[in-house]
Structure 1
Amino acid sequence: MLVVETQKLYYENVYQRTFRAQVLSCEAEKEHWLVVLNRTAFFPEGGGQPGDRGVLDSVNVLDTKEKEGVVLHITNAPLSVGKLVTGGIDWPFRRMHMQEHSGEHILSGVLHRFFGVNNVGFHMGSACVTLDLDKPLDAHQIALGERLANEAVYQNLPIEIGYPSVQELETLDYRSKKELTGQVRIVTIPGYDVCACCGTHVARTGEIGMVKVLGFMHYKGGVRISMLCGSRALRDYGERLAAVTAVSGLLSAKPEAVADAVERLLQEKDALKQQVSTLQNDLLAGKAASMQPAANGLLCTFEEGLNPDALRHYSTLLVPKCARAAAVFSGEDGHFQYAVAGAEGIDVRAFGKEMNAALNGRGGGKPGLVQGNVQASRKEIEDWFAQHKED
């Protein structure tokens, strides 16, 4: 591959969407091609920001990466070396990343200034942007950071990009996740942040639209913040509003009262669940009392709608009706859950293993009770139990 450093048009004009360039090389790589141009407006993956996508003539650019100053365009078809092509970037995709990158800078800068935390990780994912900070923060601190970041958006401040000299860098207070050598690109948002960065940014903070924190979690001794900005934040808000409105209609509650309505519904559900459990236990106790003793020491019965807890409970209720073990199955033909309880002094673990081997099952437990599932029909289960006469 030709190693000729690519002219990076995205640094000369971040808003340039189309350009003309010459193909310097095109090499196959698995099912894709790596195309190198003499100049490009496609930003390559770097600094937590994904690479641009778009087209070169009629060929799709699926991703863009950089290696030793050379921008590699990953395409779905080859291009002839020496050909002049017209490139067009996917502008909504790029603008979204510009909004998010600039918004992340502001939030990181604010949290660094107020709480002394450092940005140690940053990633623009398909669902949201994640920001990793080296110290823990609480919900109030993060909410303050979000509020101040949006103040910067409202002020529509210019975002300044410069390349300070080595002497200027020595006296400049700026953020950076790693030690830097050579020419350093500094992105400044006056009054909010000064940071070394290779990514693309909007020209003014007003273009960010909004900065919205979605949530946070403790992560590696610090905190990981999930956030969105601009067009993706607006889309996310629309989706959440639609979901709340739908739930509001289902619960016949105002949107602002949905949480209280759901809490009441869950309380009612728990109360009904307890009532059902009590009635089910009474029913099972009655059935167990009326059950005839097992003639061969083994009792096998089927009961619809039992969860694992109820299976265990019913099998222990049936133990007095048998000399060896009581097995209860629940489910549908071909797939049953089971519980097997042993009579006093009986270890049913070996019995459970034998049953699992014969009935394509899985499970285990303690000496007095085993539980699991089998892939067998009711007839196959009943026939297997019928063959196990008491020794």
Structure 2
Amino acid sequence: MEKLYEAQPYLTQFPATVESCTQGKKGWDILLNQTAFYPEGGGQPYDTGTLGGVPVLEVHQREGRVVHTCAAPLEAGSQVEGQIDWPRRFDLMQHHSGEHIVSGIAHSLYGCDNVGFHMGSDVITIDLNVELTPDQVAQLEARANQYIWEDHPIAVTYPTSEELEHLEYRSKKALTGQVRIVSFHGADTCACCGTHVSSSGQVGLVKLLSCQKFRDGVRIELVCGKRALDYLSQVWEQNHQISNLLSAKTMQTSGAVRRLLEENAALKSRILTMEEQQFAALAQQYAGQGDVVVFESGLSPDSLRRLCGAVQAACGGRCACFSGEDGSGYQYAVGQPGGDLRPLAKALNQALQGRGGGKPDFIQGTVSASQDQIQAFFQEHM
């Protein structure tokens, strides 16, 4: 089988003869006399497209042959036209070449090796065996894009065994037989079986999205080409919306958000103080009354917990606090110093369609019941 994709990565249509067609687990497995479909391998996903108008679902290499898994059978001996899904192929070419450029420059700048590589549908990841600082990551991105914009040619060669002995190149595993070398002059030289763009400028752009500690080094997420443009366009649109909502200039949204957070923190602190005063005054109304049930609207779970604590300290018995409204349900917090509220929680949840639990002396959760039903329950269980 002639592997056309190795020498002609820009080939999108090709004629072929069907050599065999057998039913497999995921469809019909078809062998051709030649193919431009890239099989999954080397970190690069397989191509998709059509053969004789039939969708190609997956492409894998088995025992040196490229197997096309198709949605319907094709007659052995027939002539078919292959059609590659070019947008998908070119996207993968941009990302594979972008990965080589980033990995090669990372090695030259920081002496790190690429020890892992995965091309996903959203982002690609590169695992490097050296930890990088944020400044180093920024420098890596800048250098990679500079190399892309300089539009260096990319070469694919098949050196002899003698030539390989004197050639420095990256490879993640021991290689046997004919070795295919992909060279990015001034950036990277690597043994690779994948498809690549013809010059670095066709990568367009590389954007490093994140850099996280991973094992002894870092894992970098990145996007290239159209995916990078789409990502940056989405980020710009989000920032534009934030700019309009905050009445801030586009490049000043972070400052506006910081001020908003500071104002929000100040308001939360003020509300907390006012709630503490309100809860203390409310608790005095129940001083010495023993077991009590309290309803207070508009409280968060944390506020409800603090109200329960304040009333419990004053009433001298078990305190059950509820916040909510009929129709949408209530949150609850129940406390009893030295008590065991777990049987009560089970009965409460069962009788009032509730969910929740907690410690022996304090439980918290929600119920789907009315105020009258809640009061009736506690009249029976007080």
Using the TM superposition, give the Cα deviation of residue 88 of structure 1 relative to its aligned residue in structure 2, in angstroms.
0.7
Q: Is contact 1:22-1:38 (8 Å) kept?
A: yes
Q: Is contact 1:100-1:208 (8 Å) kept?
A: yes
Which residue of structure 1 aligns with residue 165 of structure 2?
170
Matches within 5 A, 1:126-165: 126-165=121-160
Distance in 1 (alpha carbons) for counterparts of 2:284 and 2:78: 89
Q: Is contact 1:334-1:378 (8 Å) kept?
A: no
Pair 180,359 (structure 1): closer, same or farther in 2 beyond 3 Å: farther
Using the TM superposition, give the Cα deviation of residue 369 of structure 1 relative to its aligned residue in structure 2, in angstroms.
1.9
Q: Is contact 2:352-2:369 (8 Å) kept?
A: yes
SS in 2 for 1:346: coil
Q: Is contact 1:298-1:385 (8 Å) kept?
A: no
Which residue of structure 2 aligns with residue 336 of structure 1?
330
Using the TM superposition, give the Cα deviation of residue 223 of structure 1 relative to its aligned residue in structure 2, in angstroms.
0.5
Using the TM superposition, give the Cα deviation of residue 277 of structure 1 relative to its aligned residue in structure 2, in angstroms.
2.2
Pair 15,282 (structure 1): closer, same or farther in 2 beyond 3 Å: same
Which residue of structure 2 aligns with residue 3 of structure 1?
none
**CA deviations over 1:301-326 (Å, ceiling 9, x no partner):** 33222222111111122225645311
Distance in 2 (alpha carbons) for counterparts of 1:30 and 1:292: 74
**CA deviations over 1:50-75 (Å, ceiling 9, x no partner):** 11111122222233222222222233
Using the TM superposition, give the Cα deviation of residue 273 of structure 1 relative to its aligned residue in structure 2, in angstroms.
1.7
Q: Which amino acid aligns with 1:346?
A: G
Using the TM superposition, give the Cα deviation of residue 372 of structure 1 relative to its aligned residue in structure 2, in angstroms.
2.6
Which residue of structure 2 aligns with residue 103 of structure 1?
98
Q: Which of residues 306, 310, 313 is equivalent to 1:317?
A: 310
2:326 matched to 1:345? Answer: no
**Count of residues in correspondence between the two structures:** 381
Gaps of 5+ in 2: none
SS in 2 for 1:175: coil
Using the TM superposition, give the Cα deviation of residue 353 of structure 1 relative to its aligned residue in structure 2, in angstroms.
3.9
Q: Is contact 2:27-2:70 (8 Å) kept?
A: yes
Q: Which amino acid aligns with 1:325?
A: R
Q: Which amino acid aligns with 1:38?
A: N
Matches within 5 A, 1:94-243: 94-243=89-238
Percentage of identical aligned residues:
46
Distance in 2 (alpha carbons) for counterparts of 1:314 and 1:350: 22
Which residue of structure 2 aligns with residue 374 of structure 1?
367
Distance in 1 (alpha carbons) for counterparts of 2:373 and 2:27: 54
- Please report the TM-score for the alignment, with normalisation by the length of structure 2: 0.92
Q: Is contact 1:102-1:208 (8 Å) kept?
A: yes
**CA deviations over 1:253-291 (Å, ceiling 9, x no partner):** 111111111111111111112222222332333333334
Pair 281,160 (structure 1): closer, same or farther in 2 beyond 3 Å: same
Using the TM superposition, give the Cα deviation of residue 150 of structure 1 relative to its aligned residue in structure 2, in angstroms.
1.8
Which residue of structure 1 aligns with residue 68 of structure 2?
73
Distance in 1 (alpha carbons) for counterparts of 2:186 and 2:350: 71
Q: Which of residues 374, 377, 380 is equivalent to 1:384?
A: 377
Q: Is contact 1:325-1:348 (8 Å) kept?
A: no
- RMSD after superposition: 2.2
Higher deviation after alignment, 34-43 or 320-329? 320-329
- Please report the TM-score for the alignment, with normalisation by the length of structure 1: 0.90
Q: Is contact 1:106-1:149 (8 Å) kept?
A: yes
Q: Which amino acid aligns with 2:271?
A: V
Gaps of 5+ in 1: 1-5
Distance in 1 (alpha carbons) for counterparts of 2:342 and 2:284: 26
SS in 1 for 2:137: helix
Q: Is contact 2:283-2:315 (8 Å) kept?
A: no
SS in 2 for 1:191: coil
Q: Is contact 1:299-1:327 (8 Å) kept?
A: yes
Which residue of structure 1 aligns with residue 88 of structure 2?
93
